[in-house]
A and B are shown apart, each in its own frame.
Chain A
Amino acid sequence: MQSELYTIPSIDWSLVMPFIVVVITGVIGLLIEMFRPKQNNNAIVLVSLAGLAGAFALLIPQLGVTTTTTFAGMVLRDQFGVLLQLIIVAGAFLSLIFSEPYMKQRRIAHGEFYPMALWATSGAMLMVSSDNLLMIFVGLEVLSIALYCLAGLARDEQRSEEAALKYFLLGAFASAFLLYGIAFVYGITGSTSLAVFMETLARAPGINDLTVLFAITLLLVGFGFKTALVPFHQWTPDVYQGAPTNVTAFMSAVSKVAAFGAFARVLEASLPVQEFWMPALIVITILTMTVGNLAALVQKDVKRALGYSSIAHAGYVMVALLAYLQDPAKGSLGTVITYLAIYTFMTIGSFAVLSLTAVNKSEGTRYQDLYGLWNRAPLAAGCLVLFMVSLVGVPPTAGFLGKFQIFQDAMGAGLPLLAIALAINSFVSAYYYLQIVRAVFVDEEGALRVQSAPMNAGLRFALVICAVGVMPILFAPILSQGKQTVTLSKMIESGAFLQRPVASVPLNPEPGEKVEQITPSAPLSTVTGN
Chain B
Amino acid sequence: MLEVLPIASITRDVPITWFLGLGLAMFILGGIGVVTRRNPVIVFMCIELMLNAVNLTFLTFAAYGGSGINATPGGMAQAMNGQMMVIFVMAVAAAEVAVGLGIIMAIFRQKNDVDLDDMSTLRN
Contacts and interface: CB of A to CB of B under 8 A. Distances in A.
Interface string B45-73: 00100110110011001000111111110
Contact of B107 (A162, A182, A304): A162
A190 B68 contact: yes
Contacts of B102: 149
A188 B119 contact: no
Interface stretch (A35-43, A502-510, A519-527): A502-510
Main secondary structure of the interface of B (DSSP, over half): helix
Contacts of B84: 134
Given A173-B34, A200-B69, A508 B75 contact: yes
A192 B34 contact: no
B27 A180 contact: yes
Interface string B90-112: 00100110011011101100110
Interface string B69-89: 111100111100110110011
Contacts, number: 168
B124 A183 contact: no
A37 B55 CA distance: 41
A141 B92 contact: yes
Contact of A138 (B47, B78, B88, B121): B88
A175 to B, nearest CB: 8
Contacts of A175: 51, 92
Interface string B1-40: 1000000000000000000000000010011001000001
B67 A162 contact: no
A298 B123 CA distance: 12
A168 B100 contact: yes
Main secondary structure of the interface of A (DSSP, over half): helix
B50 A180 contact: yes
A300 B124 contact: yes
Which range holds the interface residue count of chain B? 35 or more
Contact of B124 (A5, A158, A298): A298
Nearest to A301: B124
A137 to B, nearest CB: 7
Contacts of B61: 183, 186-187, 190
Contacts of A158: 107, 110-111, 121
Contact of A508 (B30, B50, B70): B70
Which range holds the interface residue count of chain A? 35 or more
Nearest to A147: B99
A179 interface: yes
A189 B106 contact: no
Contacts of B78: 190-191, 506, 508
A330 interface: no
A428 interface: no
Contacts of A188: 66-70
28 contacts: A5-B77, A137-B88, A141-B92, A145-B96, A148-B99, A148-B103, A158-B107, A159-B121, A161-B110, A169-B34, A173-B34, A179-B89, A180-B57, A183-B57, A186-B81, A186-B85, A187-B66, A187-B67, A188-B69, A189-B66, A189-B68, A190-B70, A190-B72, A190-B75, A207-B68, A237-B122, A298-B124, A510-B72
Given A134-B81, A508-B70, 11 more contacts: A5-B77, A134-B84, A134-B88, A159-B121, A176-B27, A180-B53, A182-B85, A190-B65, A190-B68, A190-B75, A191-B81
Interface of B: 1, 27, 30-31, 34, 40, 43-44, 47, 50-51, 53-54, 57-58, 61, 65-72, 75-78, 81-82, 84-85, 88-89, 92, 95-96, 99-100, 102-104, 106-107, 110-111, 119, 121-122, 124
When A and B form their complex, which 5 residue pairs have the shortest distance between CB atoms, in order from nearest?
A506-B77, A190-B78, A188-B68, A176-B50, A508-B75
Interface of A: 1-2, 5, 134, 137-138, 141, 145, 148-149, 152, 155-156, 158-159, 161-166, 168-169, 172-173, 175-176, 179-180, 182-184, 186-192, 196, 200, 203-204, 207-208, 211, 237-238, 241-242, 298-301, 304, 506-510
